[in-house]
Amino acid sequence: MVMSSPGEEVDRQLCRDAIFPIPVACDAPCPKDCVLSTWSMWSSCSHTCSGKTTEGKQIRARSILAYAGEEGGIRCPNSSALQEVRSCNEHPCTVYHWQTGPWGQCIEDTSVSSFNTTTTWNGEASCSVGMQTRKVICVRVNVGQVGPKKCPESLRPETVRPCLLPCKKDCIVTPYSDWTSCPSSCKEGDSSIRKQSRHRVIIQLPANGGRDCTEPLYEEKACEAPQVCQSYRWKTHKWRRCQLVPWSVQQDSPGAQEGCGPGRQARAITCRKQDGGQAGIHECLQYAGPVPALTQACQIPCQDDCQLTSWSKFSSCNGDCGAVRTRKRTLVGKSKKKEKCKNSHVYPLIETQYCPCDKYNAQPVGNWSDCILPEGKVEVLLGMKVQGDIKECGQGYRYQAMACYDQNGRLVETSRCNSHGYIEEACIIPCPSDCKLSEWSNWSRCSKSCGSGVKVRSKWLREKPYNGGRPCPKLDHVNQAQVYEVVPCHSDCNQYLWVTEPWSICKVTFVNMRENCGEGVQTRKVRCMQNTADGPSEHVEDYLCDPEEMPLGSRVCKLPCPEDCVISEWGPWTRCVLPCNQSSFRQRSADPIRQPADEGRSCPNAVEKEPCNLNKNCYHYDYNVTDWSTCQLSEKAVCGNGIKTRMLDCVRSDGKSVDLKYCEELGLEKNWQMNTSCMVECPVNCQLSDWSPWSECSQTCGLTGKMIRRRTVTQPFQGDGRPCPSLMDQSKPCPVKPCYQWQYGQWSPCQVQEAQCGEGTRTRNVSCVVSDGSADDFSKVVDEEFCANIELIIDGNKNMVLEETCTEPCPGDCYLKDWSSWSLCQLTCVNGEDLGFGGIQVRSRAVIIQELENQHLCPEQMLETKSCDDGHCYEYKWMASAWKGSSRTVWCQRSDGINVTGGCLVMSQPDADRSCNPPCSQPHSYCSETKTCHCEEGYTEVMSSNSTLEQCTLIPVVVIPTMEDKRGDVKTSRAVHPTQPSSNPAGRGRTWFLQPFGPDGRLKTWVYGVAAGAFVLLIFIVSMIYLACKKPKKPQRRQNNRLKPLTLAYDGDADM
């Protein structure tokens, strides 16, 4: 028969060039002869080589299909003849062999002279010859390292070889830069710039064993200038005598010389250090601010003016810091008799001031600044600033302002306390720590043992980021924070095979001892083997093979009797025609081996057919693709453009992956794209600008001034780059400076010229005061020289009001008091929220009326208002204390807990008094909250005809004892307090207070009802007792029978 490669019969002419099969001789068993199966295939070789103790063997076997008859048939051979063995892999095994390790590092060989010239090797300059070594050991197969004598010395690989050493590269750095300059001018309080520094950069990193970079790249030293700047101030001296200004100059017209009137006076100024020492004028011109005024206007008194002597010298000081000194002057001539000259507020005759003192006290004020790193110190690498290389962590300093006070608690310059204005304290800015992941794990096994799948490797989280470090990649939190990489893989469907041994001889279950035939069981061994090019070679675990394809290990068999027909094993099934359809069939066939005897069972049909059922014995095939891999980058790349891949897979109609050949044989279309471009976003760290210079102080003086510096984001972070820090602003306190200003003194009492009351004048002075700039600090008077360079302005007004008219009220007159203080800023609020109309402050002048008959002559009360914006919304509610008798205290409270006058609605004010009218004067009566008289508990009210309480009558007390109370006495209880509840102990009984009398003093109706009911109850009880006594006794036996079920019903057990 001529067959094509698919197994179809074709024309014989097509096989004319093919080799004609040679006929092979065979034996056909006669009836009743023993029938043997054909030889099985040779098994795989038991060893890969042959030695003294091992020898490769292959086995094949055959089995008995039918036994011979007792008479005339050829007997079956012995069991040894059913198996054949042959040798295989007869080449000798290599038991011992040399194993080499990798070549080590090239080390300089001092025994070999260096090259005279530099040569080039692998693109690098080489300067000397070195030696490389490697480890060579003798290894025994499947054992490990053994002694070197076991391996042949002639085959030993070399352990040393020469090599060329690249030239050493020492670390090379630039020379130091020049020292940064020390500050040429003093800036008080700035201690961070009192150092000068220099740096250098690396221009060549060490390599090939060259000298390391051990020398420092940054140096700093303290400036020679003193740590505390010297402060200077202007010292003003006494004003000289007033000189008249010619009238012609005053009026710009000729006139006569006057002997009194306006003039000018001058004074001398000198430069002093803060400690009082002399200094040159140029020092104050540079450091002490503007020059104080050298001249000022003055007045030479005329005859009507008050004339006084010049001030005397100040009295001496005794050296104590708490001491004061004084100076005096006196009125001259007629001024002594003038009342206006006697006004000590306008014309003071004595002046007092504190003695100069060198005792000062330094105190810290305000909060600590942010932790600030030293300026100008930048980590330098290879002479350039790498991305994000500015030092942002490490040791820094924080600052707290220092204030200096004199012995009188007045704020003075910080230099008086020998301080540069700050307390300095070391601090640490923690360095950011990036997310740390483990190394890549090994690749997992392919997800499919047959066909195309994926394999995975992963990284695990070792340390979370903190302090703003680079974040971790997107983590799979379900799998314990795992980062993974996926690539497609392909598993050979034939790499693991089920290998079966030949079927055993059919063991008949019900043995016919005479015929030795019948139905039985056959078994065989089934093993999973790893497939190689030489066939199945090694036994592996069964789970590596497909369990659905596992062949049967046992089957039912029939051992023919000697006279019966014997047929061969069934051949393979033919292929079903695709597409699968139950109308098509597949078949297999067997060949008769022994014909039956005359009386034997004839041969059965040698062909079997079965319909082709989808997913049972017939399958469709189609291509499928795996999932995309993760983005694969080029070698050594960590981000950028890459490629994602996937693989083609052949899938059977039941969903199982099979070898690609099944789909390729069908010529199916492949419409999938196997590669696509992708991109891994490159991590970009956040980049910041340098810190800006420190801003000007937010306050020109005082304790609360701050300086601020800022930085901006020049490059936002991208991907998994390090994020930007949250601290973009830094602040530190300004050096404390005293706040000097002009301030009015108190008004003098109203002075009426030559009268006791009426119109008069009052005066006040202007003084130089110092404060710390806060609202809580009361200004303290200091020498006017501290305000010498401050313009004379008070409350924004340049026009000084030192004198004004006033009224000293005469007896019986009405008059206005002084202006009150400004009220708090009041906002327009609803339900505690500002409506946005702004706030208002009010002050007033009250009218004092001494006699009511003059009320029509009194002025009206004066009010002034001004807008404000610093108010708060408050809620107000009435509060009340507990009642004390018939009164209590009621007040209005603001929502911040302050008690105020006004704010609460008058109409909702609680009562502060609950007195009854007329008062409750009867014994045992009290005034209730409804302002009516009631009796205390235990008493009943007797009311008068006009519904007022007339008297309180004691009512009887009935005590009903409980079962626990065995005492027979009855005690009367009286109410102690009308509002307190009865305090009878639990379990002692309860008390009812019966009130039989009504408000009119008559018995109440219920009393008659209770009496009638008690009478009826008494008659009923007497009748029942009579009837009970009249009944005859019942038999004892019957009574016990009735009691018995009661006893059974409850036996005292709590569970019943």
491-533 pLDDT per residue, tens: 888 788 888 888 888 888 765 555 678 888 889 899 898 877 6
179-189 per-position pLDDT tens digit: 887 766 555 54
Is 975 a residue whose pLDDT tops 70? no
Round to whole Å and give the CA distance between 180 and 187.
17
* 381, two tokens: 């690498």
Q: What is the pTM of this model?
A: 0.46
Q: Which helix (H) or strand (E) holds 664?
A: helix 661-665
Residue 1031's pLDDT is 52
**In 3D, which of 873, 880, 874 has the Cα closest to residue 835?**
873
- The predicted-structure confidence for 312-341, as pLDDT tens digits, reads as follows 888 877 666 667 788 888 888 777 777 778
pLDDT surpasses 80 at 49? no
Condensed to tens digits (0 to 9), the pLDDT of residues 640-673 reads 888 888 888 888 888 888 888 888 888 888 888 8
Alpha-carbon separation of residue 1000 from 470, 640, 948, 953, 1003 (angstroms): 94, 108, 11, 12, 9
Q: Which residue do the tokens 């065979």 mark?
A: 26
The whole-number average pLDDT for the span 256-269 is 74
pLDDT at 392 over 80: no
Confidence of residue 879 (pLDDT cuts 50, 70, 90): very high
138: left (phi over 0), alpha (psi -120 to 50) or beta: beta
Residue 924 in this model has a pLDDT that exceeds 60: yes
Look at 254 and 758; give whichever has higher pLDDT: 758
pLDDT digits (tens, 9 = 90+) for 464-483: 888 888 888 765 545 445 67
Note the pLDDT of residue 920.
83
Query: Which band of pLDDT confidence, cut at 50, 70 and 90, is reported for residue 898?
Result: confident
For the cut 80, the answer to whether the pLDDT of residue 997 exceeds it is no
Confidence of residue 258 (pLDDT cuts 50, 70, 90): low
Lowest model confidence (mean pLDDT) among 224-238, 337-351, 907-921, 981-995:
981-995
CA distance 140 to 98: 9
pLDDT at 32: 78
Q: What is the average per-residue pLDDT within 621-632?
A: 86
Single-letter code of the amino acid located at 435: C
**pLDDT of 761 over the 70 cut:** yes
Q: For the segment 205-250, what is each residue's pLDDT rounded down to a tens digit? A: 887 777 878 778 888 887 765 545 567 888 888 888 888 766 555 5
pLDDT band at 453 (very low <50, low <70, confident <90, very high): confident
DSSP for residue 167 = P
Our CA dihedral for 942, 947, 949, 954, rounded to 10 degrees, sits at 20
Stretch 398-405: mean pLDDT? 90
Rounded Cα–Cα distance for residues 563 and 514 (Å): 13
In whole angstroms, what is the distance from residue 388 CA to residue 382 CA?
14
Beta-strand pair 990-993/57-61 = unpaired
**Proportion of the chain above pLDDT 70, given as a percent:** 83
For residue 163, give the amino acid letter.
C
Q: Among the listed ranges 537-541, 565-569, 878-882, which one has the minimum average pLDDT value? A: 537-541
- pLDDT band at residue 976, thresholds of 50, 70 and 90? very low
Confidence of residue 90 (pLDDT cuts 50, 70, 90): confident
State how far the Cα of 892 lies from the Cα of 38, in Å rounded to an integer: 119
Letter string b/e over residues 791-827, b meaning 16 or more CB atoms within 10 A of that residue's CB: eeeeeeeeeeeeeeebebeeeebbbbeeeeeeeebbb
Q: What is the mean pLDDT of residues 992-1004?
A: 61
Q: Taking all residues of the chain, what is their mean pLDDT, rounded to a whole number?
A: 77
pLDDT for residue 249: 58
Query: Within 13 A of 282's CA, how many CA atoms are on the CB side?
Result: 0
The pLDDT score that the predictor gives to residue 442 is 87
Confidence of residue 1 (pLDDT cuts 50, 70, 90): low
So what's the pLDDT on residue 136? 92
Would the pLDDT of 1048 be above 60? no
